[in-house]
Amino acid sequence: MSNVSECANKQVLLVEGLTKHYGNLLAVEGISFSVNRGEVYVLLGPNGAGKSTTIKMITGSLVPNAGKVNILGLNIWEPDSVLHVKRQISVVPEELIVYGNLTAREFLTFVGRMYLMSPDRIRNRIAEVSEVLAIENVLDKFANEYSRGMKKRVLIAGALITNPKIIFMDEPFDSMDPIVARSLHKHLIDFAGLGGTIVYTSHVLELVERFCSRFAIMYAGRLLEESRIESVLEKSSLSDYFHGVIEKASKMHETRSVSR
């Protein structure tokens, strides 16, 4: 990850006091963090920790109740800057949104057109990205013949063809076999090495260990710990560290619930 860290010289994402509640349920409570250019930043946490909600709020798909999100120096919640920001980022949602009656090529063309890319540029980018993600063989097959892992790859290809500055991914390695995950992770490192920034959520700690510059652990809507991966790996494995933090947090959470 050293080449990734070397590029980290400019802040591209700043999140301050982000809060979201659904009625009485507090989904995310005042989280703050920042990400620099070229970094791979991971949000870790158990189910219901608020990772997906955070990603949605950062990418402008969900309105926060409080807090500020600055992407590339612009507030995504400002009406004047939202489109400018969105054109420079890509989002890979958790749901496998690939139309069954479309081929990967048609789907990628649609994504490119939504980003106002020219037909030639779309064609070239599809060729480049499909080679990187090893989807050339399925480009002209219908998506409902794909496995879940393949659908995920097509979605990631959709995020890459727009040549974004930042990619946000919600559980990108979910339902992906280890071989594909490893190859994808290699390509994403290359992307980060070229100055791209990646922010993603994950449960797959083994991959996070190898593919991340910094990470944050979330639990019950709060950001508990934020650290550089190297500093953790010097002492223990990410898995041990993660479980230790979560265990401590869950005990505190239980005590707080009982005292209430």
Partner 1 sequence: MIWLQINALIGLRVKHLTNQLQKGGCLDSRLIILLFIGFCIACGGSFAFTLGYGLKFFRDDDRVSVLIACDILVGIFFLTTLSNAFVESRPGGSISQDYLLTFPVDLRGAFLIRLLSSSISLRLMWFLSVTLGVGIAFVAIKGIGGWPFFILAVSFLWMVESGGAAMRELFESFSRSNRRIQLYVFMIITLFMMAAFGPYLIIRQTSLQQSKVVNSEFRKETARLSRLYHKREITFEDFKSYSQMNREKFDRYFEERNKASKISNVYGSLLSANALIPLGWFSYGIVMLQCNNPPMVFLCTAGMMGVGCVFLVFAYKFSQLIFEKQLLFRLPYSHMKLSCDIPRRFNWIRLPCTTNSTLAVAYFSFFIMLRASKTYQILASLIIPLGIIIGVGSTHFLDEFAQSIAPVALICCSALTLFITNNWALSLFQFDKSEFPRFAQSPMPRDQVLIGKNLSLAPFFVVVGCLLLGLVCVKFRLDYIDCLGSLIQLLSLWVTACLIGNCFFIRFPAASNKRSAKSGLTHLVFHRLLNASTLIAVVPGAISLLIQMRYESLSGFPIYFFVEMAQGVISLLVYDYIVRKQGARLQICEVELLEAYDLQRDFIVIA
Q: Rounded to an integer, what distance in angstroms lies between the CA atom of residue 158 and that of residue 168?
A: 12
Q: Alpha-carbon Rg of the chain, whole angstroms?
A: 18
Position 173, amino acid: F
CA pair distance 184, 195, nearest whole angstrom: 17
Q: Does residue 252 bind partner 1 (CB under 8 A)?
A: no
The residues in 149-188 that bind partner 1, with binding defined as CB under 8 A, are 151
Q: Which helix (H) or strand (E) holds 189?
A: helix 178-193
Q: How far apart are the first and last CA of the chain?
A: 44
Q: Is residue 69 within the footprint of partner 1 (CB under 8 A)?
A: no
* Residue number, 146 or 173, with CB nearest to partner 1: 146
Residue of 94, 106, 206, 226 that binds partner 1 (CB under 8 A): 106
CB of 129 to partner 1, least distance (A): 17
Nearer to partner 1, 144 or 239 (CB): 144
Burial 70-108 (b: 16+ CB within 10 A, else e): bbbeeebbeeebeeebbebbbbbbbebebeeebbbbebb
Q: Which of 43, 91, 108, 126 forms a contact with partner 1 (CB under 8 A)?
A: 91
Asked if 102 is part of the footprint of partner 1 (rule: CB under 8 A), the reply reads: yes
59 contacts partner 1 (rule: CB under 8 A): yes
Residues that bind partner 1 (CB under 8 A): 20, 22-23, 56, 59-63, 79, 82-83, 86-87, 91, 93, 95-103, 106, 109-111, 113-116, 142-144, 148, 151
